[in-house]
Chain A
Amino acid sequence: MLIEPDAMLAGLAGGLLIGLASAMLLLLNGRIAGISGIAGSVLAAPRGVESGERVAFLAGMIGVPAIWAAVAGAPEITITGSVPLLVAGGLLVGIGTRIGGGCTSGHGVCGLSRLSPRSLVATGAFMVVAALVTGTARHVIGG
């Protein structure tokens, strides 16, 4: 196990910010900060009710990191360069989050914090399968 106190503290602080962003959307607007739900709803019904605020959420989410990088420097992003992996991963994440009605933010953060049985089951399912897939890809297939 990696013990990196700085990274753990930064994780806790970043997590608090994620929780605050979600809490503000719930208490002020009455909406769930579920990223897959917000993106999927805009795609499915671009002119639907509240589409404007969903687009605004996505604009903040995509635009603010560019501003952050210009001011504070770009964060490290290390990602695979395999196109088949990226395409397969993206398709599975897109379709899976919509069938399951949420992702790490909607089920993970927003659902678990309200002790929703639905979100507990979904989070268990995606965590276990993700760990199995990562482990298999790294230690059985790859190396």
Chain B
Amino acid sequence: MRILVSLLSGGLFSIGLIVSGMINPARVLGFLDVAGGAWDPVLAFVMGGALVPMAVAWRIRAARSHPVLGHGFPAAPGPVDGRLVLGGALFGAGWGLVGLCPGPALAGLTLGGWPVLVFVAAMLTGMAVHAFALPGGRPAGIAR
């Protein structure tokens, strides 16, 4: 059952990326290009729309001891540190270069042609470098 929920959640997430237009890197770059004179605000609407169900979900979570199908909820967020800022900055640099972050990159894998395939191969290589070649790789949980 948890497997089915995960499959449906991943699929619904991708449909959201398609409907919102965020699967298109050109649209994302239009948002990031604040100095261009033709700023595209749609990403802000997507963020706003996504935050509403999740804000409700966190309130429901606060009233429950465990998830419907699970053993426990995610741990509280860790501390703010240098790694967080460094990682965020590196990610931002890559995002700003191409306009793809991990969600739209994977959602567009079968639709975006060879450029998306090249990007995803490089992205997975970067993740593998972190996991196997850098200190502090192989974290126990899912990122939050």
Binding site for B on A (CB under 8 A): 1-2, 4, 7-41, 43-45, 52-54, 56-66, 68-69, 74-81, 83, 85-114, 116-119, 121-135, 137-139
Closest CB in chain A relative to B56 CB, distance in Å = 7
Q: State the interface size on chain B (CB cutoff 8 A).
A: 123
Interface centre among A7, A54, A58, A94 (most CB of B within 10 A): A94
Chain B, range 48-73, C-beta contacts under 8 Å to A: 48-58, 60-61, 64, 66-73
A56, A91, A109, A127: the one contacting B54 at CB < 8 Å is: A109
Contacts of B70 in A (CB 8 A): 28-31
Would A11 and B43 be within 8 Å (CB), given that A18-B16, A18-B50, A134-B96 are in contact?
A: yes
Q: Are A64 and B137 in contact (CB under 8 A)?
A: no
Q: Are B49 and A13 in contact (CB under 8 A)?
A: yes
Q: Are A66 and B110 in contact (CB under 8 A)?
A: yes
Binding site for A on B (CB under 8 A): 2-26, 29-30, 32-36, 38-43, 45-58, 60-61, 64, 66-74, 77-80, 83-103, 105-113, 115-116, 118-132, 134, 137-139, 141-144
Closest CB in chain B relative to A55 CB, distance in Å = 8
User: A89-B100, A95-B127, A105-B103 are known contacts; what are 13 more A-B pairs with Cβ within 8 Å?
Assistant: A12-B45, A16-B50, A17-B13, A17-B16, A19-B54, A28-B70, A29-B67, A53-B5, A65-B23, A77-B113, A96-B86, A103-B101, A138-B29
Q: Are A14 and B87 in contact (CB under 8 A)?
A: no
